[in-house]
């Protein structure tokens, strides 16, 4: 027993496998930012219809997270990872008939299936971040995995654009002919077939890899009484709500930026998610450097919320015909000229980066034996990614338009600010 533990903790191979899986998770997640505006143009969708591409992906977590945990208890973490990859492979194959028939409902089904697969993979792989090394360095590993996940968000739109969009020449936002639609659809088939093959091979590699199986955790009887006990903790419940609204704004910033760029006539709209993800990676790095040396977690969370509020107002009130920021900071160094409002959306990545790692320790503080069920509830907050873009799409279809629709983020950042200042300190729902 004492010989086996250091071997697991010192193994480079498990760390490398987990790193690859986190990159794959990020790639699958942030590919949506390119796919959504591409499908909007190809299928001539409304903003609300396009938002369903994200909704169907993120809604999967609401009904597959708990079954995923149950399945992993049955088959083990290692097999759970392989099964998650296999489900994602199946989703990759579903995109092929969806593209061949240009059927929006099939695309939504494929999104739902890949969302379910990544939920299973995420539920299985996350414990390894802590278990594959010493506990005292777990925070460093979490940050590294976060950077890998977001770096995949930078890479995914570039790969999508290079493999799928590069041969398409119609102007962004233009009315397409039937031949152009067929061409756009056909360009999806080989890349998604390749993705499915890669995921299938990776599933087999994980299945037969030297990745050690984690020991089964003792069943602590998380029944109604335990659920009631954890719901009596305001810091936890408000933390779940904070993560819900956080994932909502994170996905709005990362995945609707391409859609908004398409509406502005920006030709390379499929790479816009990379700008947001680059800012998120920068935010992660700043967090590693500044917390807790310069800023406490609470202060970093509060500053993130304030920056989110300011940027939201700048997006809504900004002039989309102004290129001042890009002409000052990007163009002189060979960058692309982009409207100020698009760059404000990208910088939201910087505001969002610290929220997830800051809320978790604040929400779980003092839970003790209730920590596992508290963690499960926090994971459920990912479902916010389904509803944020949906509300943005609904607002876009109203008189606000796509630019004014970003107002839906204001109450989200306001709630995160409340949690940073007061919510995480609450120990009871009443003063009595």
236 with 136, same domain? no
- pLDDT recorded at residue 133: 65
The segments of the chain whose pLDDT lies below 70 read 1-11, 127-140, 142, 167-174, 213-223, 369, 371-372, 376, 431-432
**Domain stop point among 148, 182, 213:** 213
**Does 430 map to a domain?**
no
Looking at the structure of the chain, the number of domains it has is 2
- pLDDT recorded at residue 296: 82
**Does 320 map to a domain?**
yes
Note whether 220 and 28 are within 8 A (CB): no
Measuring CA to CA, how many Å separate 150 from each of 88, 163, 245, 374, 417? 19, 20, 19, 25, 23
**Does 431 map to a domain?**
no
- pLDDT recorded at residue 358: 83
Q: Name the DSSP class of 70.
A: H
Cα-based torsion angle of the residue sequence 334, 335, 339, 342 in order, rounded to the nearest 10 degrees: -170
- Give the domain extent around 41: 1-213
Note whether 8 and 122 are within 8 A (CB): no
81 with 99, same domain? yes
205 with 229, same domain? no
pTM of the model: 0.79
Euclidean distance between CA atoms 98 and 42, whole angstroms: 12
228 with 193, same domain? no
- List of residues 6+ apart from 185 with CB closer than 8 A: 42, 99, 100, 102
- pLDDT recorded at residue 6: 41
Which CATH number is 38's domain given? Answer: 1.20.1250.20
**Does 432 map to a domain?**
no
Question: Tell me: the pLDDT tens digits for 171-202?
Answer: 665 677 888 889 899 999 999 999 999 999 99
Per DSSP, helices labelled H in 215-256 are 224-231, 234-255
Residue where the block lists tokens 């300190």 = 425
- pLDDT recorded at residue 9: 45
Note whether 409 and 391 are within 8 A (CB): no
Question: Tell me: the pLDDT tens digits for 37-58?
Answer: 899 989 989 888 988 998 999 8
**Does 75 map to a domain?**
yes
- List of residues 6+ apart from 290 with CB closer than 8 A: 300
């Amino acid at each position: 027993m004492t010989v086996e533990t250091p071997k697991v903790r010192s193994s480079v191979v498990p760390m490398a496998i987990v790193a690859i899986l986190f990159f794959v998770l990020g790639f699958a997640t942030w590919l949506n930012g390119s796919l959504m505006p591409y499908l909007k143009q190809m299928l001539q969708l409304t903003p609300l219809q396009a938002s369903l591409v994200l909704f169907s992906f993120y809604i999967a977590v609401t009904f597959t997270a708990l079954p995923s945990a149950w399945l992993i208890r049955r088959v083990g973490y290692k097999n759970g990872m392989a099964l998650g990859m296999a489900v994602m492979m199946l989703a990759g194959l579903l995109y092929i008939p969806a593209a061949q028939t240009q059927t929006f409902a099939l695309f939504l089904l494929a999104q739902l299936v890949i969302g379910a697969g990544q939920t299973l993979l995420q539920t299985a792989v996350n414990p390894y971040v802590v278990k594959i090394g010493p506990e005292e360095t777990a925070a460093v590993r979490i940050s590294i995995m976060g950077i890998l996940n977001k770096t995949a968000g930078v890479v995914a739109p570039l790969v999508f654009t290079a493999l799928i969009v590069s041969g398409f020449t119609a102007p962004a936002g233009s009315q397409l002919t039937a031949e152009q639609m067929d061409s756009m659809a056909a360009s999806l088939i080989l890349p998604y077939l390749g993705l499915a093959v890669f995921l299938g091979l990776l599933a087999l590699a994980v299945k037969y890899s030297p990745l050690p199986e984690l020991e089964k955790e003792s069943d602590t009887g998380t029944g109604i009484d335990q659920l009631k006990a954890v719901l009596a903790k305001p810091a936890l419940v408000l933390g779940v709500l904070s993560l819900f609204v956080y994932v909502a704004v994170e996905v709005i910033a990362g995945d609707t930026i391409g859609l908004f760029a398409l509406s502005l006539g920006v030709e390379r709209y499929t790479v816009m998610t990379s700008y947001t993800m680059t800012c998120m990676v920068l935010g992660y790095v700043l967090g590693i450097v500044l917390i807790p040396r310069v800023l406490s977690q609470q202060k970093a969370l509060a500053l993130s919320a304030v920056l989110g509020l300011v940027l939201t107002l700048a997006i809504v009130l900004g002039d989309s015909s102004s290129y001042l920021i890009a002409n000052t900071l990007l163009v002189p160094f060979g960058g692309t000229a982009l409207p100020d409002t698009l760059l404000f959306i990208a910088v939201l990545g910087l505001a969002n980066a610290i929220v997830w790692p800051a809320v978790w320790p604040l929400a779980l503080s003092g839970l003790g034996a209730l920590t596992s069920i508290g963690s499960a509830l926090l994971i459920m907050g990912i479902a916010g990614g389904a509803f944020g873009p949906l509300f943005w799409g609904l607002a876009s279809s109203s008189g606000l338009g796509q630019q004014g629709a970003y107002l839906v983020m204001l109450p989200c950042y306001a709630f995160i600010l409340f949690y940073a200042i007061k919510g995480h300190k609450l120990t009871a729902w009443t003063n009595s």
